Structure 1
Amino acid sequence: MDYGFVDCHCHISALEFQQFLVPGSVCVLLVVTGPNVERSARSEDFRSQPSLFSSAGSSGCDPQNQVGVKTLVAVTEEVEEFSRVLRLQERYPDLVAPCLGLHPLQAAGGQRSVRPQIGLDFTPWCAPTQQDRDDQMKVFIRQLDVAMEMDLPVNVHSRSAAKVTIDTMRRRGISRALLHNFSGKPAAAMEAVEAGFFFSFPPAVCRNQQRDRLIQRIPLDHICLETDAPALGLHRNERNEPANITLSCSYIAKVKGQTPETVREVTTQNAYRLFSRASR
């Protein structure tokens, strides 16, 4: 089996990547990974872009510096992005796996929301009041219920809300979930591991050692890779790209005392177990 990388959380429809966007079409509301991803040569022009999928230096995972991103789980933040992701999946069916969802805090008064796509964000600037937190919870539960009805996994943001996010998913019967860019306490992570959930970490974890203990505690068979591109790269205020998934891979390998090749293989298997439709 070809163990290329799976970027489990990437905003490839973001305007920072607009040179690759296709004019929009009809939007379809999904919460998580949608249509099957079939193998096709039509993605070669997209994947061959050196600034997105090639590493400038040795990655530690691929000596020829061809990163080998096989699947991008393309997440959204707002309804306006749905059509862009679906068009990208239509154009690159072997590469882009749509993962469409809404965060409860949406744009108002014509201003574009910068909130994440599905989950709970209880930081003071996103949820300053109990009413704000209650409103987020209502929308989150609604999306979880849709995922249950459609028998699909969920790709979840949780910030300053790790335990309540995990507890809510367990109460709603969710068994397949990715907690992206997870920064909660190890004790909360172990509860998620018991529930069968997965975790992913972007290149930003390389900036310091703050999450080393967390990464050490989580079993490798519950870890996936992500970039969260164009955000959360190695350097602040620089556009992050799918090619930087090698940074996450190498850092997790270092923290866990594994080879980058092992981390790549295991995390790819994990990703396709979770997002099974993307592996077809």
Structure 2
Amino acid sequence: MENGFVDCHCHISAQEFEQDLDDVIKRTTQAGVKTLVAVTEDQREFDRVLQLKKSYGALIAPCFGVHPLQSDGGPDKRSVKPQDLEAALPYFYQHSEELVAIGEIGLDFTPWFAPSEQEKDDQMKVFVQQLEVAKELNLPVNVHSRSAAKVTISTMKEQGVTGALLHNFAGKLSVAFDGIKAGYFVSFPPAVCTNPQVHADVLFYLVVKTIKLPFYLQKVKLIKQIPLEHICLETDSPALGLNKHERNEPCNIGLVCQYIAQIKGLSTETVQFVTSQNAQRLFTKINQL
């Protein structure tokens, strides 16, 4: 694959892009993005992402997944139930040749989404079943792990998963390294770039000297200490942009690249090249697109 950005986790099939998708795609390619790893959250998106693959060719790398949080048509989310996966399962096998990963899947134990053990148990059942599908189809997984990073990683290890992207990772550094030892990758969206002008040396001082870090500096610590060979770039667009009130787009991936380069004291060219190589190692089928 020609060198360029790989957005390892975006929702290009989301409704937010339907009205001006051609313009979004144009800005995406102009920004140097060569591949969009297009995750889905439920069966309703599957046909849409496959149609985008037909329309935009190798730019779109489709994934099928049932997210740990589901919507019943309105703005509110609820914890996933096993029946949400049942109808979707045949599609994974029918379109396995077109998929580069299973995702977005995972666990979300945020208290208001999973207030009881029943919700957590249901999420775990859906997650494990999709991990089994991924192993059957020899595909990596694109994983959500909010408020559940440790149990998400331990579950994947127990299930023998060898290829995984921990998207928008926000767990502890020790938990991240547990995943890295298993061969997993970690990615960060533009939302981490809260203050891109802060000098890397100052950030490093804060990371080392501060015992209890605020959320923003926890992300800095992760980026600083996780080896670049285990980092990928993502936008999670249309969410997790610089401004939470504005639609995020894949063209913003360069912001994450610059930010990681600054924190690590590397050139943006190095970060772009290594993270793209990482993406191709994880999502091996994008090399065939």
Structure-2 residue corresponding to 1:267? 275
**Correspondence 1:276 to 2:260:** no
**Correspondence 1:6 to 2:6:** yes
Other structure's SS at 2:7 match: strand
**Correspondence 1:120 to 2:120:** no
**Correspondence 1:97 to 2:61:** yes
Q: Is the 8 A contact 1:11 1:76 kept in 2?
A: yes
**1:2, distance to aligned residue in structure 2 (A):** 3.1
**1:105, distance to aligned residue in structure 2 (A):** 3.8
Other structure's SS at 1:99 match: strand
Other structure's SS at 1:235 match: coil
Q: Is the 8 A contact 1:7 1:225 kept in 2?
A: yes
CA displacement 1:145-165 (0-9 Å, x = unmatched): 000011100000000100100
Greater helix share, structure number: 2
Give matches, 1:67-146, under 5 Å. Answer: 67-108=31-72, 110-111=73-74, 114=77, 117-146=104-133
Structure-2 residue corresponding to 1:152? 139
CA displacement 1:41-97 (0-9 Å, x = unmatched): xxxx667623xx27xxxxxxxxxxx41100000011121111110100111121000
Other structure's SS at 1:19 match: coil
Aligned partners of 1:128, 1:198: CA distance in 2, in Å? 29
Q: Which runs of 4+ in 1 moved over 6 A?
A: none
Count of paired positions: 243
Give matches, 1:194-233, under 5 Å. Answer: 194-207=181-194, 209-210=216-217, 211-233=219-241
**1:117, distance to aligned residue in structure 2 (A):** 3.4
CA RMSD of aligned residues (A): 1.9
**Correspondence 1:249 to 2:226:** no
Structure-1 residue corresponding to 2:199? none
Amino acid at match of 1:138: K
Structure 1: state its 5+ residue gaps. 22-44, 55-65
Aligned partners of 1:177, 1:217: CA distance in 2, in Å? 19
Structure 2: state its 5+ residue gaps. 79-102, 196-215
Aligned partners of 1:10, 1:106: CA distance in 2, in Å? 17
Q: Is the 8 A contact 2:68 2:108 kept in 1?
A: no
Q: Is the 8 A contact 2:17 2:24 kept in 1?
A: no
Aligned partners of 1:152, 1:199: CA distance in 2, in Å? 17
Q: Is the 8 A contact 1:105 1:113 kept in 2?
A: no
% identical equivalent positions: 61
Aligned partners of 1:184, 1:48: CA distance in 2, in Å? 32
- Which deviates the most, 97-106 or 145-154? 97-106
Other structure's SS at 2:34 match: strand
Amino acid at match of 2:251: A
Aligned partners of 2:247, 2:263: CA distance in 1, in Å? 25
Structure-2 residue corresponding to 1:187? 174
| TM superposition score normalised by structure 2 | 0.80
